[in-house]
Amino acid sequence: MSMSIEISFSKTAKISGGLVVALGSLSEPVSAAARSVDPAGQLDKAVKVSGFTGKPFSTADIIAPVEASADRIALVGAGDPGKLTPHDWMRVGGKMFTLIRKAEKVTVLLGDGGSASPEATADMALGLLMRAYSFDLYKTKKGEEDENGSRKLTVVIQHEDAAGCKKAFVSRQAIADGVKLARDLVNEPANVLGPVEFAARAKELEALGVEVEILTEKEMKKLKMEALLGVSLGSVRPPRLAIMKWQGGKPKDKPLAFVGKGVVFDTGGISIKPAAGMEDMKGDMGGAAAVTGLMHTLAARKAKVNVIGIIGLVENMPDGAAQRPGDIVRSMSGQTIEIINTDAEGRLVLCDALTYCQERFKPQFMINLATLTGAVMVALGQHHAGLFSNNDDLSQALSKAGETTQERVWRLPLDPAYDKMIDSKFADMKNTGGRYAGSITAAQFLKRFVGDTPWAHLDIAGTAMGSPSTDINQSWASGFGVRLLDELVRANYEG
Ligand code: BES
Ligand code: MN
Ligand code: ZN
């Protein structure tokens, strides 16, 4: 990694050299705190010249005035700080990172009057960390951003309630680390991250107190997971099912369950995909990455809840041993599936993982995440994930968490009329429903495997990767789902 960032909070700010970043508001673009660094009073003049007014998410970079105790002073606008949402504060932090990326030592001065609460300050720090993420493991030539190879950046944020900030930051650091894990897994190429290697990364969560079981091919055969195993037939790399267990609640409390599609690479199989853009299919394990990142976050912040994470890990390849269109497989549930298109493989992985999850753990709910259909991008683009659910309360709670975190979801319908589209001549169902409503028929397929358990399916094909750059993410992989589901758990299920 190019940079490690250490964030701390301090009641007092002893400034001797380094970079100072001050928060500016519309009513006070240059705060009293910023002025205190500039005894000669030249900052106001410099700000006037730069046009900085304190508008939210605006920045100004100023060479430190003579006599200043800092080498450089920079300003970040917070507009009317009292009106910023938690996500706005993250964006402020993201903007702040663009000013400090080349520094070694940074002191952050917040405005006076306690405009930034400890929570807001911690959100700002989270945004800073998320923006700072980059995946450059395979860049052998050092770019602009890491002139010194692996660098350390120390950020001290000055706040009257430093202890409160530090406390609020614990959960944000856990979120930053979970998002980083999810992004790393999605960015990692498939030659490095096969099913076995992914399972090993999940196993590393044991260091945080997560119990992790890895099922091998042999064990999955015993469980009759023929749908999942069918997808894996064309790959020389064996499949895995990873089960992660976090017991932060009362022993008897029913767990929440999160299930992820982990296709480490999706060629389409015998129904092979066109060459253009196929490299993106290294990210077809974005659902599994989000579940793994979420488990990291929940464990790292010691969430007071019982949670199960299950990820189905396979590779979808064309081969002499691969499954064919027309094949019929028997899922773990006993329901039979006619394979129409081997490229509709995600639902085949998920259906057995959902059956296993439900039978073994009897969870309060199951939420699955998957880069499931190209059609969801046609419907919603890259700014909302598709949400399908058999439960209005769960659906509403997810939508609310989406608004809070700005990892947004949009509910699409389920209906018996769509369900008919996947009936098969030869088996109980087929794995595709034709040209129309591709995301909905995929969801109808999954619905046949969840019984009465409250369930939601998030189709994250448009949001997990190839994401538009934002103030808090510049990486191909967004880590979508980690913050959304952490917020869902925090707001509704921790007593
Ligand atoms: N992994 C793909 C969906 C996908 C496409 C994710 C583009 C991200 C970007 C999925 O396995 C797939 O191939 N779905 C097919 C289903 C079809 C064959 C019914 C699709 O969307 O075309
Ligand atoms: Mn596919
Ligand atoms: Zn796929």
Q: For every one of its 495 residues, what pLDDT tens digit does the chain have, with 9 covering 90 and above?
A: 468 999 999 999 888 889 999 999 999 999 999 998 988 888 898 899 999 999 999 999 988 878 888 999 999 999 999 999 999 999 999 999 999 999 999 999 997 545 799 999 999 999 999 999 999 999 998 665 555 457 899 999 999 999 999 999 999 999 999 999 999 999 999 999 999 999 999 999 999 999 999 999 999 999 999 999 999 999 999 999 999 999 999 999 999 999 999 999 999 999 999 999 999 999 999 999 999 999 999 999 999 999 999 999 999 999 999 999 999 999 999 999 999 999 999 999 999 999 999 999 999 999 999 999 999 999 999 999 999 999 999 999 999 999 999 999 999 999 999 999 999 999 999 999 999 999 999 999 999 999 999 999 999 999 999 989 999 999 999 999 999 999 999 999 998
| pTM of the predicted protein model | 0.98
Question: Which of 232, 270, 343, 467 most suits a substitution to test ligand 1, by most atoms within 8 Å of the C-beta?
Answer: 343
Residue 350 half-sphere exposure toward CB, CA atoms < 13 A = 34
Residue 364 CA: distances (Å) to CA of 18, 354, 355, 357: 51, 13, 14, 11
Report helix, strand or coil for 242. Answer: strand
Catalytic residue among 101, 167, 273, 400: 273
- What does residue 368 show for φ and ψ, rounded to 5 degrees? -110, 145
Distance 195 CA to ligand 3 centre (A): 14
User: Whole-angstrom distance between the N-terminal and C-terminal Cα of the chain?
Assistant: 38
Residue 315 Cβ < 6 Å to ligand 1: no
Residue 220 CA: distances (Å) to CA of 41, 241, 258, 314: 71, 8, 19, 12
Distance 375 CA to ligand 1 centre (A): 8
Whether residue 412 contacts residue 379, with contact meaning beta carbons closer than 8 Å, is answered with: yes
Distance 480 CA to ligand 3 centre (A): 17
- Mention every residue, 6+ apart, whose C-beta is less than 8 A from residue 417: none
Residue 371 Cβ < 6 Å to ligand 1: yes
